[in-house]
């Protein structure tokens, strides 16, 4: 439940438009709702500015639908990550206005999205096309949180001229997310060109000795570009959340 929705409910009670029992029914599930297999955190928006997100990997379709139903019925925006095709089909069947990004494996059902107080845009950069699933997860996350998001894809260090040709776009961003696999060199290069917060996302893309993203992770953690921040392997969602929070802070 959003702060705006709680205020509207309390105002309705004070004006006699809603009785106490009805208001109590709305508030009874705060701060969380027990489903047996999950506890839905309805206070997440009040504490952090955005509702609880469903990480679908490891859950059944039935569990995802049940959790989604409680989030949507509360008026909150639903973001589901790491969905599979069966989950996406089930969510679309239940919520026809669903926004699906199969590449990112995300599903969004729009609710009462708080107005984002941002002063610029978030730029999501990927080293290669193989990194796009993770990059798109970051894009969808940042967008659903109310940010203006642009993308710059396939500009890895194997063809550095592709990146340098887009330098003005890098300089125009308020926050940059850089997604790369293999040796994970791209964040260091971008970090040496800009003066804005940069969040690096290592991906599991690469051959054997990349160790499913470990090589990229270690390379980014040891970046010689000052201030590069690193999230976990393939964690586009985490990067999108962090970038959104930074962008809101920059608005004062």
Identify the pLDDT of residue 116: 59
| Per-residue pLDDT band at 47 (split at 50, 70, 90) | confident
Q: How far is CA 78 from the centre of its chain?
A: 11
The rounded distance, in Å, linking the Cα atoms of 87 and 110 is: 17
Give the residue among 162, 212, 153 at the shortest CA–CA distance from 182. 212
Report d(CA 122, CA 242) in Å as an integer.
11
CB 79 within 8 A of CB 89: no
**1 has pLDDT over 60:** no
Mean pLDDT on 218-239: 97
Note the pLDDT of residue 30: 66
d(CA 144, CA 4) in angstroms, rounded, equals 18
User: Chain centroid to CA 75: how far?
Assistant: 19
Tell me the C-alpha distance between 2 and 108, whole Å. Answer: 17
**Who's near 62: CB < 8 A, 6+ residues apart?**
none
Asked if CATH classification 3.40.50.1970 holds for the domain at 121-250, the reply, yes or no, is yes
pLDDT at 252 over 70: no
Pairing relation of β-strands 54-55 and 148-152? unpaired
Q: Does pLDDT of 2 surpass 70?
A: no
The two three-digit tokens of residue 90, written as one number = 């089930």
Q: What are the domain boundaries of the chain?
A: 3-109, 121-250
pLDDT at site 21: 78
Query: Mean pLDDT, to the nearest integer, of 190-212?
Result: 97
pLDDT digits (tens, 9 = 90+) for 106-139: 999 988 765 556 678 999 999 999 999 999 999 9
Contact 48, 3 (CB under 8 A): no
User: If you count them, how many residues does the chain have?
Assistant: 252
Give pTM, 2 decimals. Answer: 0.86
- Say if residues 32 and 25 touch (Cβ distance below 8 Å): no
pLDDT at 28 exceeding the cut of 80: no
The average confidence (pLDDT) of the chain is 90
Strand 106-109 and strand 78-81: the pairing is antiparallel
Assess contact for 91 and 68: CB atoms under 8 A.
yes
The answer, yes or no, to whether residue 197 has pLDDT greater than 80, is: yes
In whole angstroms, what is the distance from residue 155 CA to residue 113 CA?
32
């Amino acid at each position: 439940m959003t702060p705006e929705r709680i205020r509207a409910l309390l105002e309705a009670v004070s004006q006699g438009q809603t009785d106490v029992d009805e208001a109590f029914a709305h508030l009874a599930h705060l701060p969380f709702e027990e489903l047996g297999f999950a506890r839905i955190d309805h206070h997440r928006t009040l504490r952090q500015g955005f509702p609880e997100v469903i990480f679908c990997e490891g859950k059944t379709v039935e569990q995802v639908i049940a959790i989604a139903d409680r989030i949507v019925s509360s008026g909150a925006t639903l973001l589901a990550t790491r969905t599979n095709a069966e989950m996406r089909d089930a969510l679309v069947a239940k919520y026809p206005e669903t926004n699906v990004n199969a590449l990112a494996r995300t599903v969004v059902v729009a609710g009462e999205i708080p107005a984002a107080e941002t002063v610029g845009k978030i730029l999501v950069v990927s080293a290669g096309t193989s990194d796009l699933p993770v990059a798109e997860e970051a894009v969808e996350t940042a967008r659903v949180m109310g940010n203006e998001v642009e993308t710059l894809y396939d500009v890895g260090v194997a063809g550095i001229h592709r990146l340098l040709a887009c330098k003005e776009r890098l300089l125009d961003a308020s926050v940059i997310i850089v997604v790369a696999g293999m040796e994970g060199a791209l964040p260091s290069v971008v970090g040496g060109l800009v003066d804005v917060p940069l969040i690096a996302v290592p991906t599991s893309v690469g051959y054997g000795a990349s160790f499913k993203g470990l090589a990229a992770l270690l390379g980014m953690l040891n970046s010689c570009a000052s201030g590069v921040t690193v999230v976990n392997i393939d964690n586009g969602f985490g990067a999108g959340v962090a970038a959104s929070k930074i962008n809101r802070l920059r608005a004062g």
